[in-house]
Each structure stands twice: as structure tokens, then as C-alpha cells.
Structure 1
């Protein structure tokens, strides 16, 4: 999802979305663009969001064309995404405001419009981190938004589960705090943790480079391979599969129905960030090249040229995004 190194933890450039058909997206003959808007020249460090994937994904608002510092793609196909700019959270998407639940999600709380330092999406919820305290909104009822007392101060990182069960993971004093989860955090994830990621299952990275996983998911996905037992520097949870980064190479395990485990040669060296999606995954190399692989149903493998432009963050779910 988050979190840059873990996979961040979504969009297209401004305007309106060009209606490229799914068939065109799959064939590579079309990619996400914006009506009448010319993509910017290569401008690393500009804080510009570039998105591709589903033809009907929500277009990035004007605020996403510069100065953005973090991105997070939402759980459901084309529903919503988050960006962080000047400490303010912006949520955008294909929301049906006649639906009370989606209306609740669309209303970013006042507390998340100033001094926010991190963002995360988690199913029908959204999260923000401000002054070490977690902010959560969305869901169906106010009583679902109660956070554990430990999440109200001293939190240093957040991530959300974007598949199946909606829950959040928060890192505090090297231990994982879980909100709304159905499977308890294992004891070995309650100390010595430096990074985490979640979708239906959860991943935590210990300071000794060992990966821990838990959650209601495929047995194959919950068995960490030997090569991910040490030396790992980043993790990212996908839909029924997992990714880890070790010595610049991507390690993948779990379900392989769509080729999620078939890591291309370009992602087997010099990789600096990873993001596991729903059916496809993304990696960023030290040279600024974006690599995607697995299923191309939504056109996730049809990378626009401007994405290879020195991204500072990547995020892949149903849509793929990079932040220049």
C-alpha cells in the first residue's frame, strides 16, 4: 500500500478521464490520460501524480499536479484515493454521495486538513497521522471509529488493509498496534518492527530483516520463504500474495493465479521500492525505471513514458500510481 519503501502505501493527471476501452488497456494501445491535458515533461521532485490502469478510474484533481508528498490508492476498484499536500489530506474518487457510507468516507475530518505527516487507505476507511496520533474516518457508524488508546499518541507509521477485511496497523515504539482486525497480532510483531504492510493479510518487517505474516489468507501466503527470513529491507502485501525486497531484488510468494510470483529480470536487481497490488505489482529501480508484472486486465502493465521519471513513491492496487 504504505511506507514508500513498503509500497505506497493512485491517480491520472488532472482534467477528465479519456474513455479508453478495457480491450485497448489490455492490449497496450491505450493508457490513462486526461481530457485535453498534456502530461508534464519529466520533472522529478515536482510532487506530480501520474496514474494508469482502469479507464474509468477517478481522475486526479488539480491539487495532484504539483507539491504532493504522499499517495495511497483505495481498496475498491476505481472508488477512492488519498493524497497529502502541505500537510492536508485530499480524498477523491468515483463516490456515490447518495450512499451514506461513501458520503461518510468523502468527508475528510478537519483534524486531517493540517499538519498531517502520513496517510493510508483501508477498505471503507481512511487514516491519517498527525502529531503522533491516528485519525480515522469512513465506515458505516461512528462507534466503529473508536481507536485503541495506544494509537492516540507516539505512533510513527500507519497502513491499512485494502482487501476483504478493513483494518489498520499502526507502529509505535517498534510494536504493531492493530485496529479492527480479525486475527490478533503475533507476539513477535509487538517489538522490533521497522515496517509493515496489509491487505487481507498483514506483513511486518523486523529490525533483523525477518518477515512476519498473519491474517485470514491462503496458507501458501502465510508461509514466509527461507530467503525472506533475513536481510529484507521492505515488504508489501498483495491480494493473496506477498512481496519483499532483499539486496535490491524482489522476492514473491503466495498465490500465483495471475503470474504474481513471476518477477521479471528488471525487478531482480537495483530495486528500491515495491508495491503489491490486486493482480499486478510494481517496482521502482534506482535508475527511476518503473517495472510492473502479472495480470494486465486493467492495463497496469501499460506504463506511460512519463512514469519513468524519477519517482519518489509508488502505489499499485486496481490502479497504479507514481509520485514524481
Structure 2
């Protein structure tokens, strides 16, 4: 991990400062997924256990013995097992179990114990901000909000992601649907009109993966090309400008195997195992050894390790 470590969220056993280069998280092995909130981190391991570290004042670490302080070393979340995926946003945490149920905790010092939500048959979860109602993908390809309301006019979905006040869904036909706020053009339909129901992203097909930042979206096509649209005030679209885009633009020189969007930055995992990043870098989140913002992708410093998966906050 790398980036802001003010609350120990990088997991180095210490807190404070920034990790501008990739560092190995203490105590963790066999990790299959991770998620980062505002100042805390979650990881799920192959045995279905969830580990948490960082800021604990709002119960987001899921452990009554780790509240009202910061905890820079990963520890297991008690009484939570058979987990296959995790999500984190602001001061909240979520876990998806193998049985298709969602468990959520955090938000206040009294919200430490994971609570089961009413939705069942879930295969993926996403929440982009504490003010947004999170979304869940059912195994039948339909999308629901975490209050149990189905998103109308949307089926055949294979992946979901969510930003601040808007959402995106990837359909099995390789097209992308978006809905919600559109002030920065983040819906990618060529307008800045808000949409209550899903619309198709303009001029984009054969998409294999999507990832949503605060107000921008990154998509990876089957051919490894990476495309982005929406808010670009920090260069988070990686196209060499700081001009917002209402339709997808292609990033130059990227042949990706994976993507991740942070609040106002982006990352791509190249097929050769290197990580390239762009956008805001105030907390060293680009991992290039500096705190200088970038409008085009730059190579991160992974200390000679071949990276297999990337996640963001």
C-alpha cells in the first residue's frame, strides 16, 4: 500500500505522514480483496476472514476493543466469517458473505457490531459516499439499492460501482449504464443532465471492467484500452488536460489488465504487472515517490514486485 498514513491506514504498524512508495502491509497474507474508507482499510483473506486497521472512532473497524483511537496494524474483525468481498466508504464498512448476504458496520461508536441487511442473493456491493444509498448486484443480474428498492430498466448486469451521488453498471453485452447526478458529465451520455433512470454511456462498448471515483468513471475495454469521463479538475481522466469530459476519452499508452478509480485520481494495472496512476497526488496516492499531481499516467514505484490486483480509496 501507499498514500496517506495519518491514521495508520497503510498498515505499517505506525501512523503519521505519507507512504509515497509501495510498502508491504504487516501481518497479512493470502489477501483476495481490499477496500479503503476515508481513513481505514479492510482486507479479506482466502479463509473468509476480514481484517481491519486505521481510524476506529466510528466503529468502522468492527471491533469493540478497537474504538476511540487509531490502530495501524491489521487485526481480525471478530464474529465475521465466510466473507468473499469487502467495501468501505468514509466511516462505514461492508462485507459480502458467501451465502449472498450483506453485513454493515460503522458510522458511530455504537455501530461496531456488523449488522445483516435484508437483501439476499447478492454477488457484489458498492457504496460511493456516506450520503449515497449503496447498491447491490443480485446473482440474477438485477441491481438494488441497500434499502431494498430495485433499479428499474436495468438487467443483465455483471459489475457495479458507485461515486458521490451517481452509479454505474456494466452489462454482459459490454455496454455501461449510469444514473444519478451529472454536474461534471460523469454519466458519460454527452450531457450534464441528472438522470433518475439508467442511460447508456455514449460511444463505448466491449467494456470488461468499470471503476467509479467521486465524480468520474474509468472503464477498461476487452482490448486493454482505458477510457474515462466526468470530473477532470485534478487531471483524474489522465488525458493530459484538466477539462471535464461528458463522453469517454481514451488514455494514451495503456494496455491494462485492471483499473481502479480513487476520489480524484486513477490507476491502471498494466499487463506486465506495473501500475500507472494519474490525477491528484496530495497524499502520495499515486505511488510515484512524489506528491506532484499528474494529468497523464506515470509509473509507480512497486519495489520490483509484480502486482496482480489494485484497489483505491
Shift of 1:266: 7.6
Q: Distance in 1 between matches of 2:159 and 2:136?
A: 10
Aligned counterpart, 2:71: none
Aligned counterpart, 1:68: 31
Shift of 1:109: 6.4
2:219 is the alignment partner of 1:258: no
Structure 2 vs 1, CA of residues 294 and 159 (structure 1 numbering), >3 Å: closer, same or farther?
same
Deviations 1:18-65 (A, max 9, x none): 635xxxxxxxxx7257xxxxx5xxxxxxxxxx4xxxxxxxxx4x333x
Q: Would you tell me which structure has more strand in proportion to its own residues?
A: 2
Shift of 1:166: 5.1
Question: Which of 208, 215, 224 does residue 248 from structure 1 map onto?
Answer: 224
Aligned counterpart, 1:222: 187
Question: Which of 147, 152, 155 does residue 117 from structure 2 map onto?
Answer: 147
Structure 2 vs 1, CA of residues 124 and 72 (structure 1 numbering), >3 Å: closer, same or farther?
same
Q: Distance in 2 between matches of 1:186 and 1:168?
A: 9
Deviations 1:249-288 (A, max 9, x none): 1111111111112347986442011111112111101100
Q: Distance in 2 between matches of 1:11 and 1:239?
A: 20
Unaligned stretches of 5+ residues in structure 1: 1-9, 21-29, 34-38, 40-49, 51-59, 97-101, 318-324
Deviations 1:229-265 (A, max 9, x none): x211111111111111112111111111111123479
Q: Report if aligned partners of 1:160, 1:197 keep a CA contact under 8 Å in 2.
A: yes
Q: Report if aligned partners of 1:12, 1:32 keep a CA contact under 8 Å in 2.
A: no
Question: Which of 145, 160, 171 does residue 206 from structure 1 map onto?
Answer: 171
Unaligned stretches of 5+ residues in structure 2: 1-7, 64-75, 190-200, 241-249, 289-299
TM-score by length of 1: 0.69
Q: Report if aligned partners of 2:49, 2:77 keep a CA contact under 8 Å in 1.
A: no
Q: Distance in 2 between matches of 1:123 and 1:185?
A: 24
SS state of the match for residue 226, structure 1?
Answer: coil
SS state of the match for residue 277, structure 2?
Answer: strand
Deviations 1:79-114 (A, max 9, x none): 111001221111211223xxxxx13653386552x2
Q: Distance in 1 between matches of 2:101 and 2:78?
A: 14
TM-score by length of 2: 0.71
Question: Which of 14, 20, 23 does residue 31 from structure 1 map onto?
Answer: 20
SS state of the match for residue 272, structure 2?
Answer: coil
Shift of 1:210: 0.8
Q: Report if aligned partners of 2:11, 2:54 keep a CA contact under 8 Å in 1.
A: no
SS state of the match for residue 305, structure 1?
Answer: coil
SS state of the match for residue 203, structure 2?
Answer: helix
Q: Report if aligned partners of 2:225, 2:251 keep a CA contact under 8 Å in 1.
A: no
Q: Distance in 1 between matches of 2:224 and 2:203?
A: 13
Q: Distance in 1 between matches of 2:188 and 2:150?
A: 16
Q: Report if aligned partners of 2:224, 2:255 keep a CA contact under 8 Å in 1.
A: yes
Aligned counterpart, 1:311: 307
Q: Report if aligned partners of 1:233, 1:245 keep a CA contact under 8 Å in 2.
A: yes
Deviations 1:203-224 (A, max 9, x none): 1001111101112342511234
Q: Would you tell me which structure has more helix in proportion to its own residues?
A: 1
SS state of the match for residue 153, structure 2?
Answer: helix
Q: How many residues align?
A: 256
